[in-house]
Amino acid sequence: MTSEQNGSRRPDGPMRLIGRWSELDDKARRAVTTRGLSAIFDPALRESIVELLEDVRRNGDEAVCRALERFDGCRVTPSQLRVGLDERRAARRQVSSELLSAVRDAIDHVRRFNEQVVARADWSFESEPGLVVGERYSPIESAGLFVPGGKNTFPSVLVQIGTPAVVAGVRRIAVVVPPVPGSDGEVDPAVLAVADELGIEDVFRVNGPAGIAALAFGTESIPRVRKVLGPASPAVTCAQVEVQRYGTVSTMLLGPSESLILADDTADPRLLAADLLNEAEHGDDSASLLVTDSEALLAATQVELARQLEVLPEPFRRHAAAAIGENGGAVLVADLEEGAEVANAYAPEHLMIVVGDEDGVLDRLHDAGEILVGQQTPFSAGNFLIGCPATLPTSGYAKVSSGVTAEAFRKRTAIARADHRALERMAPSIVALSRHERFPAHEAAVRARFEP
C-alpha cells in the first residue's frame, strides 16, 4: 500500500482505503462525513440560480421557455409547456407491458406503505381536569414535484414522491420534468404513464431550476404551490433552497446519491461489490462507503469491485469509480460497535447492514435515511419497489430529517378546549408570565373572564 497526499491509502483495487477510524483525527473524520454541500452552496452557482429565479418571477412563461432553449436546446412555446391529455394517453401506449406492470407493482407497494403512515389518527387527551388538548392531521393544499429528466429519465422518482402526495390527500399536485435535450419537448412516456396511473393531470415540460421557480412563483401556465421537492442536481437543489426565501417550503437535501454498507466477515464480497456499485453509478458526485472490521473482506471486495467495474458500461463506470475511489472508500473499524459509530456520524442516505448480529447492530443505528437489513434487501429493491421511502435526505441531513412519505405532505394543527374550571386553575400562572414579559393585554384577557 502507498500513502497518498490526502493521508488515505489505495490498496490493490479501485476502492480508496481511507484508514482506520480510530487513527483518524477530527479533521480527517470531518473530511469523510462532510460531502455534497460545497457544490450546492457554491457562490457562483447561487448567483446564477438567483438570476434565473428572478427572471421567472418577473417574466413567467416567457422566462421558462427561454431557460428550456438555453439549457436544454428545446424550443417550446408557452402553450406547449403543459403536457396535454392526448400526449398522456399516447404515452401509455408507448410503454411496454412489462414496464407498466413494474410501475403498478411499485405504486402498490409505495401506496400500502403510505396508507400506514396516514393511518396515524388525530389524537387528544385530558391533560388536567377540564382541559383537552391534541392534534389534527390534514394534507397541505398544494405540492410541486420535480422529476429529474433529460438524458436519463426516472419514472420511479414520480412513483416515490407522487404516490405519497396522492395518499396524503393533496388537492393540487403539479409535476415538472425536463424534456429530452434537443428535442421538441419530448417527455419520457414512462413518467407520463406514472402520472396517469396516479391521476396527476398537471404535468409540465420545464428546465429544472426554472421549473422550481415556476412552481414557487406561479406563471401563466404553471400553478403556484406551497411546497416543492424532488431529488436533483446541485443547480436544482440550490433553486429549491433559494425559493424558500419567498415562502415556498422545500425538503433538505435530496441529492447527490450516497450509500454506506456496514459489513463483517459474514458478507458475500461478490454481492457486497454489486451493492457498492448500485448507488455509485448515479454520477461523478455520488459516494459509496464500506465500513468493515474485516481486512480479509475488504481485500476480497476489492477484487470483485475491479471485476465488476470492468464490465460496467460508460459513463457508469466512470461515475462508480469516482464514487468509491474519490468521494467514498473504505473505513476499517475495530468492531461493529465502532462501525455503528461511523455510520451514525456519516448519516447516509442509504444504509445497508450485512452482519451476523443484525438486531444488535440495528439497535445502535439511528442516523440514516433508510436501513436495509441483509444481502437479500439490495439498494435497488429499496430504490424501486419495496415501498419504504426512496427519496431520502443526503449530505448528513438524515441526522435531522426523514425520507419523503405522506408525512411530507401533511401538517398537524394543535387543538385545545378548556372549561371555566381549567382556566381558573391556570390563571395565576398565565398572569405571572404575562406580567414578567410585560404584556398587560395578555393578563387582561384572562382577568376579564373572572370579573363581573
With b meaning 16 or more CB within 10 Å and e meaning fewer, what string describes 347-369? bbbbbbbbbeeeeebeeebebbb
Angle at 31 between CA 1 and CA 401, to 5 degrees: 130
Question: 38-67 pLDDT, tens per residue?
Answer: 777 889 999 999 999 999 999 999 999 999
User: Grid coordinates in use for 48?
Assistant: 446564477
Compute CA distances 334 → 102, 161, 341, whole Å: 42, 39, 11
Are 196 and 91 in contact, with CB atoms under 8 Å apart? yes
Hey, CA dihedral for 322, 325, 331, 332, is it positive or negative?
positive
443 is catalytic: no
pLDDT tens digits in sequence order for the chain, 452 residues long: 333 434 454 457 999 999 999 999 999 999 999 886 777 788 999 999 999 999 999 999 999 999 999 999 999 999 999 999 999 889 989 999 999 999 999 999 999 999 999 998 899 999 999 999 999 999 999 999 999 987 788 999 999 999 999 999 999 999 999 999 999 899 999 999 999 999 999 999 999 999 999 999 999 999 999 999 999 888 999 999 999 999 999 988 888 899 999 999 999 999 999 999 999 999 888 999 999 999 999 999 999 999 999 999 999 999 999 999 999 999 999 999 999 999 999 999 999 999 999 999 999 999 999 999 999 999 999 999 999 999 999 999 999 999 999 999 999 999 999 999 999 999 999 999 999 999 999 999 999 999 88
Angle, CA 196 vertex, CA 191 and CA 200 arms, to 5° = 95
Beta carbons of 366 and 398 less than 8 angstroms apart = no
Question: Domain extents for the chain?
Answer: 2-33+255-390, 43-122+139-246, 419-450
Taking the domain 43-122+139-246, which CATH number applies? 3.40.50.1980
User: Has 349 been annotated as catalytic?
Assistant: yes
- Write down the catalytic residue from 350, 370, 407, 443: 350
Q: Which of 242, 281, 304, 349 is catalytic?
A: 349
Residue 121 is predicted with a pLDDT of: 85
108-163 per-position pLDDT tens digit: 999 999 999 999 889 999 999 999 999 999 999 999 999 998 778 899 999 999 99
Percent of the chain beyond pLDDT 70?
A: 97
Spell out where 61-183 has E strands: 123-128, 131-139, 142-146, 172-177
The yes/no answer on whether domain 2-33+255-390 falls in CATH 3.40.50.1980 is yes
Domains 2-33+255-390 and 43-122+139-246 share a fold: yes
SS3 52: helix
Q: Mutual orientation of helices 97-118 and 155-168 as an angle, nearest 10°?
A: 30
